[in-house]
Amino acid sequence: MIADYLNSLSDGWTIYLWLVAGAMIIVASIYGIRWGAKNEQFDEDIKYLVFKDSDRIKMKPEEFAKSQEVLAKQEARRAEVLAQQAANSAKH
């Protein structure tokens, strides 16, 4: 039944299907990038969060200091977000 319908269409109809699929991919990509930007997903300093105190001997002093600074910022932001979530849940 569907095959008969598709065969009854004139030549060139598949380009419209590809155009719609392409447009949907572009819209989904834009949505994903927008979501990432609004949810702090594009952070260049994220690479410093994988280090621990035991990595101090393997790192340059300025890299370790940067790592500790980024970790402190992330912990502060985490506490802020958790407090905000707790305040929002208390309202509801």
* pLDDT tens sequence across 8-25: 888 888 889 999 999 999
Instruction: Enumerate the domain spans of the chain.
Output: 1-42, 44-92
Q: How far is CA 32 from the centre of its chain?
A: 7
Mean pLDDT of 61-67: 90
Which pLDDT value is given to residue 90?
87
* pLDDT tens sequence across 53-62: 888 888 898 9
